[in-house]
Amino acid sequence: MAKKRAEDSSDWLSRGVSIFGIFGLVGIAWLFSTDRKAIKWRIVVVGTGLQLTFAIFILWTPLGRALFEGLNDAVMKLLEFTRAGSDFLFRSFVTGSVEPSLVNFTFGILPTIIFFSSLMTVLYHLGVMQILVRWMSAVMVRLMGTSGSETLSASANIFVGQTEAPLVVKPYVATMTRSELMAVMTGGFATVAGGVLAAYVAMLSPSFPDIAGHLIAASVMSAPAALVISKVMMPETEESVTMGVVKLPDERPDANAIDAAARGASEGMKLALNVGAMLLAFIALVALLNAVIGLPSNLHNSDALQNINNVLVSGAGSAPEGCSDPADSKATVRCAYEALVTIANQRGIVIPEDLRTLEGEEDQQLTTVEALGAEVAAQLEVAHPLVGSSALEDCRGGRVAACGAVLTLTQSDTWTTKLEAPDFWPFITLELLLGWLFFPMAWLMGVPWEDCHAVGQLLGEKMVLNELIAYLHLTEIIDTLRFRSIVICTYALCGFANFSSIAIQIGGIGSIAPSRRHDLSRLGMRAMIAGTIAAFMTATIAGALVY
């Protein structure tokens, strides 16, 4: 990660795009505005200034860097305490440690949510959270000119979730203006709860050691961003009863700190189970959608794939027995591997030691076949493109070895081939479509061009599915992305803005003030878009300043 950081430290062009992106995102919000003439540009200028000031302080100044690193270390230390509880529950009586089979997302990440939920509830009972929320709200109300209720909710969203933060302003929800209600909902969409944030840290910290500091910074910066974007998309045109007033209700539902810890753990357990259930359901649904979306390509390409199998079998017994009708792509990979070994042995080509066995998962096997194919092709001087080459003619003549070289040279990600350059359809997935849809937004935030599709895919997954799945997929591709792409993506994904959260907010806030359920339903989609833009704005500012 340090090497990636050094490589990106002088990428001033991408920084310039990020600076342009700040204005671009505000412009997009302006296009969605319900009353452009009523926009109070003081809120926009001051709110953006607060974001920039905090980002410069935390990322550029020695004191800010020290605070950043201190917060990061503190969160990492808290994660160690979580592991103490997890080890007690899940360790084996025989070995005295957690068995390797239990080192997974369910037993490794979800317990983090339970512990942090309990901790945050205790801190709230002790009044620590109220002090921070009240102080931040007072600053934003005085400087930005927003109302007390919407600002209190935005500040509370830094620490708690999208349904808990409105409880801070529970007495005012029924009488809020539509603009204030929009701001409350946007704040919930633009940030994440403390317990879930800790889960993201646990997932990403092995690959991104500074992740905790960046996620905390994202949560803080997104509070004023939510107010900025919500007030552009729905400016205040009514009189607020809390304008200029910051009054935090002193409600403590717990008898003492122990009661608070117990309630927090119970609520954290519900949240952890909910997270696990959503992951199971959404990942399965994505697999189903990909199968449906990719069905036309699979049907169109099936004849050519069968042709591959037939050609492999025609090699007078040199292909393995299972090649007559391979059941899956892994069998096809093994067929090609055996064919390449055959041609290497026939031509006296020495196979490198690390390529003499086909082991591991399918991706690893495919890498082995690609490497062996390159070795064989180099020795045979097989030309590319293959049209008219001797290897292609040999393959057509039924020589399995030549077919192996052809397959390797012309394979694609879904293990297809162009034996006679047929019209193959690409395998379309939901992730691929989302990547292209959000490509422009990734570029606007300052993501380097070569990473825009990958980051765009994660942004789309966050909106259509949820941010947890997007962060999970980020861990899978993080080694392929540039440092600034990782940082920008980390900030942009840090929010609850997705379609399922609309229902969560309508249900949660609607239970506080049933009379506002109609307004909540009408504002849901607009607020979700505003929350998305607010998180992107935070990411854009980080992209302009990170080094």
Instruction: Kindly report, residue by residue over 179-203, the tens digit of the pLDDT.
Output: 999 999 999 899 887 777 877 888 8
Residue 421 lies in a domain: no
Final residue of a domain: which of 363, 393, 410? 410
Residue 88 has a pLDDT of 73
- Please name the amino acid found at residue 426: P
Instruction: Inform me whether the pLDDT recorded for 489 exceeds 90.
Output: yes
Residue 335 has a pLDDT of 67
Tally of helices (H runs) and strands (E runs) in the chain: 23, 0
Residue 248 lies in a domain: yes
Angle in degrees, CA 386, 389, 392, rounded to 5: 70
Residues 191 and 232 in one domain: yes
The tally of domains found in the chain comes to 2
Residues 380 and 327 in one domain: yes
Nearest to 9 by CA among 482, 512, 513: 482
Residue 429 lies in a domain: no
More confident position, 265 or 244: 265
Nearest to 191 by CA among 526, 491, 486: 491
More confident position, 44 or 546: 44
Confidence of residue 388 (pLDDT cuts 50, 70, 90): very low
More confident position, 543 or 387: 543
State the average pLDDT over residues 206-228.
Answer: 87
Residue 227 has a pLDDT of 92
More confident position, 537 or 350: 537
Residue 288's alpha-carbon distances to 443, 459, 524, 530, in angstroms, are 30, 20, 27, 30
More confident position, 417 or 433: 433
What is the CA 95 to chain-centroid distance, rounded? 36
Residues 350 and 214 in one domain: no
Residue 546 has a pLDDT of 77
The 10s digit of each residue's pLDDT in 346-380 is 667 788 888 888 877 656 766 776 677 667 666 65
Residue 419 has a pLDDT of 37
The 10s digit of each residue's pLDDT in 46-61 is 999 999 998 888 888 8
Within 10 angstroms of residue 81's Cβ, the number of other Cβ atoms is 12
Confidence of residue 408 (pLDDT cuts 50, 70, 90): very low
Q: Is the dihedral of CA 22, 24, 29, 33 positive or negative?
A: positive
Residue 496 has a pLDDT of 86
State the average pLDDT over residues 455-484.
Answer: 88
Final residue of a domain: which of 410, 437, 465? 410
Residues 125 and 223 in one domain: yes
Q: Is the bond preceding residue 440 a cis peptide, omega within 30 degrees?
A: no
The 10s digit of each residue's pLDDT in 95-143 is 666 656 555 566 666 777 788 778 878 887 887 777 877 888 888 888 8
Q: Which helix (H) or strand (E) holds 14?
A: helix 12-31
Residues 347 and 377 in one domain: yes
Report the distance separating Cα 94 and Cα 63, nearest Å: 48
Residue 317 lies in a domain: yes
Residue 428 lies in a domain: no
State the average pLDDT over residues 415-443.
Answer: 68
Report the distance separating Cα 273 and Cα 264, nearest Å: 14
Residue 419 lies in a domain: no
Confidence of residue 331 (pLDDT cuts 50, 70, 90): low
Percent of the chain with pLDDT over 90: 16
Residues 215 and 270 in one domain: yes
Nearest to 228 by CA among 49, 47, 494: 47
Partners of 147 in the β-ladder:
243
Residue 540 lies in a domain: yes
Report the distance separating Cα 387 and Cα 232, nearest Å: 58
96-125 as b/e: b if 16+ CB within 10 A = eebeeeeeeeeebbbbbbbbbbbbbbbbbb
Confidence of residue 398 (pLDDT cuts 50, 70, 90): very low
Residue 111 has a pLDDT of 78
Report the distance separating Cα 378 and Cα 387, nearest Å: 17
Residues 56 and 161 in one domain: yes
Domain range for 332 is 294-410
For the chain, what is the mean pLDDT?
76
Partners of 98 in the β-ladder:
91
* Beta carbons within 8 Å of 283's beta carbon, 6+ residues apart: 469
Percent of the chain with pLDDT over 70: 73
Report the distance separating Cα 509 and Cα 175, nearest Å: 13
Residue 416 has a pLDDT of 32
Confidence of residue 69 (pLDDT cuts 50, 70, 90): confident
Q: Is the dihedral of CA 154, 159, 161, 166 positive or negative?
A: negative
More confident position, 417 or 405: 405
Residue 420 lies in a domain: no
Residues 351 and 405 in one domain: yes
* Beta carbons within 8 Å of 152's beta carbon, 6+ residues apart: 133, 134, 137, 168, 169, 246, 248
State the average pLDDT over residues 433-451.
Answer: 90
More confident position, 58 or 529: 529
The single-letter DSSP state of residue 314 is T
The single-letter DSSP state of residue 206 is T
Final residue of a domain: which of 410, 430, 455? 410
State the average pLDDT over residues 148-166.
Answer: 81
Residue 533 has a pLDDT of 95
Residues 204 and 177 in one domain: yes
Confidence of residue 266 (pLDDT cuts 50, 70, 90): confident
Residue 535 has a pLDDT of 93
Residues 345 and 458 in one domain: no
State the average pLDDT over residues 269-274.
Answer: 78
Highest mean pLDDT among 101-115, 262-276, 390-404, 433-447: 433-447
The 10s digit of each residue's pLDDT in 498-517 is 888 888 888 878 887 888 88
Instruction: Inform me whether the pLDDT recorded for 318 exceeds 60.
Output: no
The single-letter DSSP state of residue 326 is -
Residues 318 and 233 in one domain: no
Instruction: Inform me whether the pLDDT recorded for 539 exceeds 90.
Output: yes
What is the CA 512 to chain-centroid distance, rounded? 31
Nearest to 47 by CA among 64, 66, 25, 31: 25
Q: Which helix (H) or strand (E) holds 209?
A: none
State the average pLDDT over residues 327-349.
Answer: 65
Residues 248 and 303 in one domain: no
Residue 426 has a pLDDT of 66
* Beta carbons within 8 Å of 85's beta carbon, 6+ residues apart: 111, 115
Report the distance separating Cα 166 and Cα 28, nearest Å: 27
Residue 409 has a pLDDT of 45
Residue 537's alpha-carbon distances to 167, 326, 493, 542, in angstroms, are 26, 50, 11, 9
